[in-house]
Amino acid sequence: QQQVKQSPQSLIVQKGGISIINCAYENTAFDYFPWYQQFPGKGPALLIAIRPDVSEKKEGRFTISFNKSAKQFSLHIMDSQPGDSATYFCAASSNDMRFGAGTRLTVKP
Amino acid sequence: DVKVTQSSRYLVKRTGEKVFLECVQDMDHENMFWYRQDPGLGLRLIYFSYDVKMKEKGDIPEGYSVSREKKERFSLILESASTNQTSMYLCASSLGADEKLFFGSGTQLSVL
């Protein structure tokens, strides 16, 4: 049973558009919510992370929105670029990290 | 630069073989993890370790064991490989709990 549910499974966005990926969790003990980006042939790499004491965190074009009461969080990629094409994983942790199923993002030029 | 090194990029084994996947980190990290990655299922935690000689089961430990004799090295062992263990295996390390994970490039294991 997946502890972190991620959607959509795949996403196609035009260059300059906004990419939105959503995740939901059940375990209220989770206290760290990162997003990882993975390119083909590479291991995942940390993109941005949030802790539950804030509702939003922004780093450049990447923003995490966090809704503690709904137990949901999302990644927004503004002005999406072809170089953003990758697989994105949300995760949640309370000592050990659990990952969502992944979203394959394709940004068309 | 930080580095997590997995010994093999590709590995082909026969069913019933004992398989060792090795992982080494050079960051003096306390925590090390083994995940398997399958399409549509994401990364699933197999085993993790918070300290030398310590190990904890993750979500899918059946058919696997681990060894951590030294802080920098965490080995995943498939006692008797089966075809359903064909997968991409990813090792990761972190400095502490709820900290950034550093991943290796993965080992694509095929069990025939």
Q: Which residue from B48, B100, B106 is facing A96, i.e. has the nearest CB?
A: B48
Rounded distance between C-alpha atoms, residue A73 and residue A62, angstroms: 13
Q: What is the mean pLDDT of chain A?
A: 95
Contact status, residue A77 vs residue A62, Cβ threshold 8 Å: yes
Q: Which residue from A44, A49, A100 is facing B103, i.e. has the nearest CB?
A: A44
Inter-chain touch B40–A9, beta carbons under 8 Å? yes
Rounded distance between C-alpha atoms, residue B34 and residue A80, angstroms: 32
Task: Give the model's pLDDT for residue B106.
Answer: 96
- Residue A1: which pLDDT band, with cuts at 50, 70 and 90? low
User: Is B33 near chain A, with CB under 8 Å?
Assistant: yes
A3-31 pLDDT, tens digit per residue, is: 899 999 999 999 999 999 999 999 999 99
Contacts of A40 (CB under 8 A, 6+ apart): none
> Nearest CA to CA, how far is A32 from chain B (Å)?
6
Average pLDDT of the residues in A67-76: 96
Rounded distance between C-alpha atoms, residue A89 and residue A108, angstroms: 20
Rounded distance between C-alpha atoms, residue B112 and residue B28, angstroms: 36
Coil vs helix vs strand at B84 = helix
User: Is A31 near chain B, with CB under 8 Å?
Assistant: yes
- Mean pLDDT lowest among A72-76, A82-86, A96-100, B63-67: A96-100
- Residue A94: which pLDDT band, with cuts at 50, 70 and 90? confident
Contact status, residue B89 vs residue B36, Cβ threshold 8 Å: yes
